[in-house]
């Protein structure tokens, strides 16, 4: 009997075990995991140091709620701010929660510090965005599937084309009350879209000139995924608010956050304005701190850049239309649907997922040259 809500159409494989870049299904067959939990398993499955940290903390304390303080939360906050050049931080649990939190902060900042009348605040977003699936977030999705049947939708959002800074500038010129621009450094779910090289430099300047907060959703692009610690580094800019999640928990625990990079944005919040029972829980903080250590100690950012550059070059050498940065790559499919190719690659022992017309390749950042070779061999067999 199937009592599951029908909200997913998964690739037909039932996984029971995972270590490193490899997972095993119920029949004992091994697969090279090149999705990595939509980038949440960047450190590889069941990384020994992360598992050890989780078990040790589970034997001490897992949850206090924010009604009480935990020394681990202070330690995690300090480590996060030093690692990502933040001045204030607010922990949550999921990427969508992080985005919702950033929206609330931006709206209140707009009222308190920019003088925008409450209820008239506007946030600009991009066509093809994916920031989560809450009611507010789907309200500005350009995917009608995500919105249909879930009205009334939340107002207060303007959509512009991704990668077009002139369109962003025009939206500011013809609309009052804009408090923030929410955007991904590289669009993942939208089809692995990479903006022009000068896009974010121009966007940063426009935000500064118009007193608009630049909010970067780094839930997927952060922590080395694009070959940089943060995706913003590829463009030489710095966000005002940065949203992190997914790999922040090392593929072991859910944890996310919003970082205030100025230190003068998040201070508009007071007790009771926001909260989360599980946000910043000791278990998640303990694992997350080790995840940051592993990222540095094992040179995962450097490996992401090196392996990603090699993989992208080889794909293009095959004559495939591939794009991305680091180990966040999309491959356009010449015939049929991208899901057809994902199913064929599964038969070759490779697990990937389709994302808006492309085959999405986001393996753990620990992937080796040998494993990249296995992936390329499977792609050659399927795409030829």
Contacts of residue 160, defined as CB under 8 A and 6 or more positions apart, other chains included, come to 124, 125, 126, 127, 167, 168, 170, 171
| DSSP secondary structure string for all residues of 97-119 | HHHHHHHHHHHHHHHHTS-PPTT
Same domain, 239 and 313: no
Tens digit of pLDDT at every position of the chain (384 positions): 688 898 888 999 999 999 999 999 999 999 999 999 999 999 999 999 999 999 999 999 999 999 999 999 999 999 999 999 999 999 999 999 999 999 999 999 999 999 999 999 999 999 999 999 999 999 999 999 899 999 999 999 999 999 999 999 999 999 999 999 999 999 999 999 999 999 999 999 999 999 999 999 999 999 999 999 999 999 999 999 999 999 999 999 999 999 999 999 999 999 999 999 999 999 999 999 999 999 999 999 999 999 999 999 999 999 999 999 999 999 999 888 999 999 999 999 999 999 888 999 999 999 999 999 999 999 999 998
Same domain, 258 and 318: no
Is 78 inside a domain boundary? yes
Same domain, 261 and 143: yes
> For the domain that residue 370 is a member of, what is the CATH number?
3.90.1150.10
CB 171 within 8 A of CB 158: yes
Is 303 inside a domain boundary? yes
Q: What is the span of the domain harbouring residue 145? A: 49-297
Same domain, 166 and 234: yes
Is 9 inside a domain boundary? no
Token pair listed for 328: 């966040």
**What percentage of the chain's residues is helix, strand, coil (to nearest 5)?**
40, 20, 45
Say what the pLDDT of residue 248 is. Answer: 98
Is 2 inside a domain boundary? no
Same domain, 86 and 229: yes
Is 10 inside a domain boundary? no
Picking from 267, 297, 327, the residue at the C-terminal end of a domain is 297
Same domain, 315 and 237: no
Kindly state the DSSP code that residue 177 receives in the 8-state scheme. Answer: -
Question: Distance between CA atoms of 43 and 255, rounded to whole angstroms?
Answer: 15
Is 33 inside a domain boundary? yes
Q: Is the dihedral of CA 132, 135, 140, 141 positive or negative?
A: positive
Contacts of residue 82, defined as CB under 8 A and 6 or more positions apart, other chains included, come to none
- pTM for this entry: 0.97
Picking from 240, 274, 297, the residue at the C-terminal end of a domain is 297
Picking from 243, 274, 297, the residue at the C-terminal end of a domain is 297
Is 3 inside a domain boundary? no
Say what the pLDDT of residue 295 is. Answer: 98
Say what the pLDDT of residue 296 is. Answer: 98
Say what the pLDDT of residue 303 is. Answer: 98
Same domain, 148 and 29: no
Is 188 inside a domain boundary? yes
Domain count, the chain: 2
Same domain, 29 and 56: no
Same domain, 173 and 79: yes
Same domain, 309 and 337: yes
Say what the pLDDT of residue 384 is. Answer: 84
Same domain, 336 and 203: no
> For the domain that residue 162 is a member of, what is the CATH number?
3.40.640.10
CB 281 within 8 A of CB 63: yes
Say what the pLDDT of residue 4 is. Answer: 87
Say what the pLDDT of residue 1 is. Answer: 61
In what helix (H) or strand (E) does residue 322 lie, and over which residues does it extend?
Answer: strand 322-325
Same domain, 290 and 315: no
Cα of 233 vs its chain's centroid, Å: 15
Known catalytic residues are 130, 217, 246
């Amino acid at each position: 009997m199937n009592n599951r809500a029908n909200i997913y159409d998964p690739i037909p494989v039932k996984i029971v075990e995972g270590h490193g870049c490899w997972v095993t299904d119920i029949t004992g067959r091994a697969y090279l995991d090149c999705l990595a939990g939509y980038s949440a398993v960047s450190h590889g499955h069941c990384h020994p140091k992360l598992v050890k940290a989780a078990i040790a903390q589970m034997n001490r304390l897992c949850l206090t709620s924010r009604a009480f303080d935990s020394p681990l939360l202070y330690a995690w906050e300090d480590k996060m701010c030093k690692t990502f050049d933040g001045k204030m931080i607010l922990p949550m649990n999921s990427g969508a929660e992080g985005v919702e939190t950033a929206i609330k902060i931006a709206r209140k900042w707009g009222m308190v510090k920019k003088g925008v009348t409450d209820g008239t605040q506007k946030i600009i977003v991009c066509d093809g965005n994916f920031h989560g699936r809450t009611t507010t977030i789907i309200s500005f999705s350009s995917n009608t599937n995500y919105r249909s049947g879930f009205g009334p939708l939340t107002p207060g959002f303007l959509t512009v084309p991704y990668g077009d800074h002139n369109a962003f500038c025009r939206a500011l010129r013809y609309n009052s009350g804009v408090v923030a621009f929410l955007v991904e450094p590289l669009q993942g779910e939208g089809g692995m879209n990479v903006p022009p090289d000068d896009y974010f430099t121009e966007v940063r300047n426009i935000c500064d000139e118009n007193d608009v907060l630049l909010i970067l959703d780094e839930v997927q692009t952060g922590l080395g995924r694009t070959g940089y610690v943060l995706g913003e580094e590829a463009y030489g800019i710095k966000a005002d608010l940065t949203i992190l999640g997914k790999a922040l928990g090392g593929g072991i625990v859910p944890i996310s956050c919003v970082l205030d990079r100025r230190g003068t944005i998040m201070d508009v919040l007071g007790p009771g304005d926001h909260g989360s029972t599980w946000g910043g829980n000791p278990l998640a903080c303990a694992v997350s701190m080790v995840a940051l250590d592993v990222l540095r100690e094992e040179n995962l950012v450097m490996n992401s850049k090196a392996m990603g550059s090699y993989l992208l070059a080889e794909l293009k050498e095959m004559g495939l239309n591939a794009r991305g940065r680091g180990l966040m790559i999309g491959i356009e499919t010449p015939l049929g649907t991208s899901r057809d190719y994902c199913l064929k690659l599964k038969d070759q022992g490779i697990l990937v997922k389709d994302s808006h017309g492309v085959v999405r390749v986001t393996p753990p950042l620990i992937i080796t040259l040998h494993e990249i070779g296995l992936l390329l061999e499977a792609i050659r067999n399927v795409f030829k």
